[in-house]
Structures are given as C-alpha cells and as structure tokens.
C-alpha cells in the first residue's frame, strides 16, 4: 500500500489515505463525497520520502 494525500485548490492537505495504486487513489478522489471541498491534486509518498504527483483528475 502507498500513502496518498489529497489537496484542495490552495494546496492544503484535506485527507491522507493508503491505496494499492494511483488509479485507486484517483478514482476515490473523483467519487469522494465526505470531504468539504473538491480534491484538486493527488500526491503519493515516494520511496525517498518526497511527495510526488499521482496524475490528472478526470472530469
């Protein structure tokens, strides 16, 4: 499992969760309804301890 974080339009972290891959994390970000604002960016924790872009959100 990989750690992902979900950011709003201002770059503030809204949530962090573990997912098996980028596709699962991006899908959750598209479909989530429990956060107060829309997710604008998804990043994952890389092997060197740095946050990396997970990919574009569709929609």
Domain count, the chain: 1
Element (H, E) at 31: helix 22-31
Q: What is the pLDDT of residue 35?
A: 85
Cβ proximity of 28 and 17 under 8 Å: yes
Q: What is the pLDDT of residue 26?
A: 96
Q: Which domain holds residue 31?
A: 2-55
Could you identify the residue written with the tokens 């569709």? Answer: 58
CA distances in angstroms from 34 to 8, 43, 47, 48, listed in the order given? 14, 19, 29, 30
Q: What is the pLDDT of residue 59?
A: 60
Phi, psi of 48 (to 5 degrees): -95, 10
Low-confidence ranges of the chain (pLDDT < 50): none
């Amino acid at each position: 499992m990989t750690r992902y974080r979900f950011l709003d339009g201002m770059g503030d972290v809204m949530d962090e969760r573990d997912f098996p891959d980028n596709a699962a994390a991006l899908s959750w970000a598209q479909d989530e309804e429990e956060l107060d604002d829309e997710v604008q960016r998804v990043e994952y924790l890389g092997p060197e301890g740095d946050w990396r872009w997970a990919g574009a959100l569709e929609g």
